[in-house]
């Protein structure tokens, strides 16, 4: 048996079609470079009885090749679809995972809003019910309505006031821009009621949230994506952050929704000056560490988080969303190759740390979980 540590990456595949092929190709390659036997596998590749796994690695000249592998000592869960067979495997106890299962947006927001260590950064948030938008508009000039299980900016509406009228501007389930304006709160409320029925994602609920004024560039939404990861010593460390600037008139900043990636210091510095920008960045880091440790207490060991952070026009820092399986393309898009590399290497470094400190499964000793 080879003496190399064995790391499996659990993801979705259909034939040789993988979710996120670009990132996963780089991740497997980083694993190999760092001296680990690293491969992708999906739920259908696990042979529990014989303790064997079919693993996939990039083939020379493109595509993927597969063979049988030993049981992984640590598994990184990168599966981002809700497939029953995956969920069963995830909870079967057969693997030692680097990252625990995570909660839905509402549960996570609720936990953080109740925790004194982090609640100052959490916007006022409720589960949507008819009438809630009106109450929130009494308190805040901007209100967001968004799905409790959405991604990529889907089904999100921003509500604001323009003179005596109310403006709703958002993205539907397919990220198409939608806009409407209303003379009364009743008319607005009815439109929102229809929205949550039509734009619902699976059987999920909607949240109503205090809207932040993120128009650091007038007419546009800008927020910060921060990546915090466990490093080779098993400690949380901020890998980097960048600004996402949404399109003109867009209610969201998401890159998939047409947002652009910009280095943090340049962008925030332009608005707040370099000294204040440093303080803001430090607060973002402090918040990220606090949030990561609070969440880890509740959900068990985690490996990385992508935080959507709002820096409002007054320079206040807010937490908009926590992503447990974040992308890292922002670093590539803003031309920061070093941070991008680091963001890819860290999951491997953390998995290697778990193995070398005895927190992985024994080699060849697959626990069948039975």
Ligand X SMILES: Nc1ncnc2c1ncn2[C@@H]1O[C@H](COP(=O)(O)OP(=O)(O)O)[C@@H](O)[C@H]1O
CB 13 within 8 A of CB 42: yes
CB 241 within 8 A of CB 264: yes
223 is an interface residue for Mg ion by CB under 5 A: no
Q: How far apart are CA 22 and CA 333, in angstroms?
A: 14
CB 245 within 8 A of CB 260: yes
Closest CB to ligand X among residues 151, 232: 151
Q: Which two tokens stand for residue 222?
A: 């800008």
Query: 323 phi and psi, to 5 degrees?
Result: -105, 120
Closest CB to ligand X among residues 221, 343: 221
123 is an interface residue for ligand X by CB under 6 A: yes
Among the listed residues 125, 317, 130, the one whose alpha carbon sits nearest the alpha carbon of residue 214: 317
Residue 160 binding: pick among ligand X, Mg ion, none (C-beta 5-8 Å cut-off by kind): none
Using the 8-state DSSP alphabet, how is residue 324 labeled? S
21 is an interface residue for ligand X by CB under 6 A: no
Residues 195-254 that bind ligand X (CB under 6 A): 209-212, 214, 221, 223, 252-254
Closest CB to ligand X among residues 31, 211: 211
- Name the minimum Å distance from CB 99 to ligand X: 18
Could you tell me how many helices (H) and strands (E) the chain has, helices first?
Answer: 8, 19
- Name the minimum Å distance from CB 327 to Mg ion: 10
Apex CA 238: angle with CA 110 and CA 256, to 5°? 70
- Give the one residue of 144, 206, 264, 350 binding ligand X; rule: CB under 6 A: 144
132 is an interface residue for ligand X by CB under 6 A: no
Closest CB to Mg ion among residues 189, 308: 308
- Name the minimum Å distance from CB 35 to ligand X: 35
Q: How far apart are CA 100 and CA 123, in angstroms?
A: 25
308 is an interface residue for Mg ion by CB under 5 A: yes
Residue 148 binding: pick among Mg ion, ligand X, none (C-beta 5-8 Å cut-off by kind): none
Pairing label, strands 74-77, 6-10 = parallel
Can you say whether the dihedral through the CA atoms of 230, 232, 235, 239 is positive or negative? negative
268 is an interface residue for ligand X by CB under 6 A: no
Size of the site for ligand X (CB under 6 A): 23
122 is an interface residue for ligand X by CB under 6 A: no
148 is an interface residue for ligand X by CB under 6 A: no
CB atoms within 10 A of CB 232: 16
321 is an interface residue for Mg ion by CB under 5 A: yes
Closest CB to Mg ion among residues 152, 263: 152
**Site residues (CB under 5 A) for Mg ion?**
308, 321
């Amino acid at each position: 048996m080879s003496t190399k540590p064995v790391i499996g990456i659990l993801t979705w595949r259909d034939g040789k079609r993988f979710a996120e092929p670009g990132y996963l190709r780089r991740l497997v390659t980083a694993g190999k470079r760092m001296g680990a036997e690293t491969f992708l596998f999906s739920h259908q590749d696990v042979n529990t009885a014989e303790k064997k796994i079919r693993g996939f690695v990039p083939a020379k000249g493109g595509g993927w090749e597969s063979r049988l592998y030993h049981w992984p000592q640590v598994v990184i869960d990168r599966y981002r679809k809700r497939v029953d067979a995956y969920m069963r495997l995830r909870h079967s106890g057969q693997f030692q995972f680097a990252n625990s299962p995570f909660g839905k947006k509402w549960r996570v927001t609720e936990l953080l809003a109740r925790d004194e260590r982090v609640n100052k950064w959490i916007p006022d948030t409720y589960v949507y019910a008819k009438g809630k938008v009106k109450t929130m508009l009494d308190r805040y000039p901007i209100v967001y309505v968004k799905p409790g299980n959405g991604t990529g900016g889907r089904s999100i509406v921003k509500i604001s006031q323009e003179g005596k009228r109310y403006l709703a501007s958002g993205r539907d389930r397919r990220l198409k821009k939608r806009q409407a304006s209303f003379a009364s709160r009743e008319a607005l409320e009815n439109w929102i009621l229809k929205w949550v029925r039509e734009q619902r994602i699976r059987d999920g609920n909607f949240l109503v949230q205090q809207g932040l004024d993120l128009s650091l560039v007038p007419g546009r939404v800008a927020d910060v994506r921060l990546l915090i990861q466990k490093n080779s010593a098993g400690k949380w460390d901020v890998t980097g952050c960048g600004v996402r600037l949404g399109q003109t008139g867009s209610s969201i900043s998401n890159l998939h929704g047409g947002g652009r990636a910009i280095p943090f210091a340049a962008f925030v510095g332009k608005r707040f000056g370099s000294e204040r920008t440093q303080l803001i960045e430090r607060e973002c880091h402090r918040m990220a560490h606090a949030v990561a440790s609070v969440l880890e207490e509740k959900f068990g060991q985690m490996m990385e988080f992508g935080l959507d952070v709002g820096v409002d026009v007054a320079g206040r820092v807010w937490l908009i969303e926590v992503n447990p399986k974040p992308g890292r393309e922002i670093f590539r898009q803003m031309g920061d190759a070093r941070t991008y590399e680091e963001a890819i290497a860290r999951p491997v470094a953390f998995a290697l740390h778990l193995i070398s400190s005895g927190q992985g499964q024994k080699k060849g000793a697959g626990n069948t979980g039975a």
